[in-house]
């Protein structure tokens, strides 16, 4: 008998209804998905379709109205460093140095100073910012701050990385550099990633699987496999992104989105 690995993350029929002043707003309706360990899942869909809401539920920031989410088979009841969240704007502590920001999680968990420094060094080197360890975050560029935010989450050795448009506020060139860097980190660490983006090109390049969501109330309309992230990361990103296979996938995903947007 072949043993089938259990998905690392399971979203079971999640519905979320916000209570607003104008009445209830159903942001998600019976969303169902399973993510395998080591997957890089990219989520695309029209603005307001519930992507951030889904990420906040997986992060444990808000409970679903119906349904549930399980990580390694255990129900999620609240935030936990096992699920590391990276937002569009890096939420770093301005009164701490870059290194102190990265050491914050281990410190909270009681790691001794020597161990904290060792961990911070390993992850700051991974994002190539060890030389900037003594600076306050506001003296770094947006791209560098986002790399600190990634190191700060990775240092907790999370089971899954939850990223909400992490490169959305960056210029095109910095964004491409960070895509490469994230792919390298993903390959080096084997982490599972749940990544929201408005850029279909980014989703096709980074994702092993692309989920297309419907307009609100959000549902998963399509799950499309993509091969490029396992191939890419060799500095030839423009060649990959202009290849006929890549362009065909990008158009396929765009067609889904245009169809659902009517
Ligand atoms: N706290 C809230 N109270 C009421 N309604 C909310 C709340 N937060 C979000 N919504 C509504 O839920 C829907 C989904 O919002 P969400 O932020 O998840 O969308 P999104 O897909 O992330 O959009 P975008 O791509 O613009 O970031 C939207 O219609 C939004 O107006
Ligand atoms: Mg959002």
CB 13 within 8 A of CB 67: yes
Please choose, from the candidates 194, 201, 198, 202, the residue with its C-alpha nearest in 3D space to the C-alpha of residue 163.
Answer: 194
Cross-strand bridge partners of residue 23: 20
CB neighbours of residue 67 within 10 Å: 17
* Domain positions in the chain: 9-82+159-261, 94-157
* pLDDT (tens digit per residue) in 196-214: 999 999 999 999 999 999 9
User: The dihedral of CA 188, 189, 193, 195: what is its sign?
Assistant: negative
Most informative mutation of 15, 16, 17, 18 for ligand 1 (most atoms within 8 A of CB): 18
Peptide bond preceding 217 in cis form (omega within 30 of 0): yes
Tell me the ligand closest to 58's alpha carbon: 1
CB 18 within 8 A of CB 28: no
Mean pLDDT of 144-164: 95
CA-nearest residue, atom 14 of ligand 1: 50
High-pLDDT (> 70) share of the chain, %: 97
* pLDDT (tens digit per residue) in 72-100: 999 999 999 999 999 998 889 999 999 99
Tell me the ligand closest to 218's alpha carbon: 1
- Model confidence at 32: pLDDT above 60: yes
Q: So what's the pLDDT on residue 236?
A: 80
- Model confidence at 41: pLDDT above 90: yes
Residue 56 three-state SS? helix
* pLDDT (tens digit per residue) in 207-243: 999 999 999 899 999 999 999 998 865 668 888 999 9
Q: So what's the pLDDT on residue 233?
A: 55
* pLDDT (tens digit per residue) in 102-144: 999 999 999 999 999 999 999 999 999 999 999 999 999 999 9
9-82+159-261 maps to CATH 3.30.70.1710: no
Tell me the C-alpha distance between 161 and 159, whole Å.
7
Q: Where are the alpha helices (DSSP H) in the chain?
A: 51-59, 98-108, 113-126, 142-154, 172-189, 200-206, 228-231, 237-241, 244-261
Please choose, from the candidates 257, 218, 163, the residue with its C-alpha nearest in 3D space to the C-alpha of residue 18.
Answer: 218
Centre of ligand 1 from the C-alpha of residue 103, in Å: 32
């Amino acid at each position: 008998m072949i043993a089938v690995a259990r998905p690392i993350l399971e979203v079971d029929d999640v519905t979320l209804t916000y209570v607003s002043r104008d009445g209830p707003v159903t942001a998600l309706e019976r969303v169902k998905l399973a993510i395998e360990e080591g997957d890089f899942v990219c989520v695309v869909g029209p603005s307001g379709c519930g992507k951030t809401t889904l990420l906040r539920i997986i992060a444990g920031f808000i409970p679903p109205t119906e349904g549930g989410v399980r990580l390694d088979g255990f129900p999620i009841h609240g935030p936990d460093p096992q699920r590391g969240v990276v937002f569009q704007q890096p939420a770093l502590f301005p009164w701490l140095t870059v290194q102190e920001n990265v050491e914050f999680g281990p410190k909270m968990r009681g790691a001794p100073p020597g161990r904290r420094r060792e961990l911070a060094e390993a992850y700051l080197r991974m994002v190539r910012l060890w030389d900037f360890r003594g600076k306050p975050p506001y003296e770094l560029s947006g791209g560098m701050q986002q790399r600190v935010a990634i190191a700060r989450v990775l240092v907790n050795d999370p089971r899954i990385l939850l990223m909400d448009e992490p490169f959305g506020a960056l210029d095109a060139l910095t964004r491409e550099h960070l895509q490469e860097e994230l792919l390298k980190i993903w390959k080096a660490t084997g982490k599972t990633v749940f990544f929201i983006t408005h850029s279909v090109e980014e989703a096709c390049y980074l994702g092993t699987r692309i989920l297309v969501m419907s307009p609100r109330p959000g549902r998963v309309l399509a799950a499309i496999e993509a091969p490029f992230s396992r191939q890419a990361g060799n500095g030839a990103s423009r060649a990959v992104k202009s290849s006929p296979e890549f362009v065909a996938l990008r158009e396929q995903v765009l067609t889904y989105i245009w169809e659902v947007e009517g």
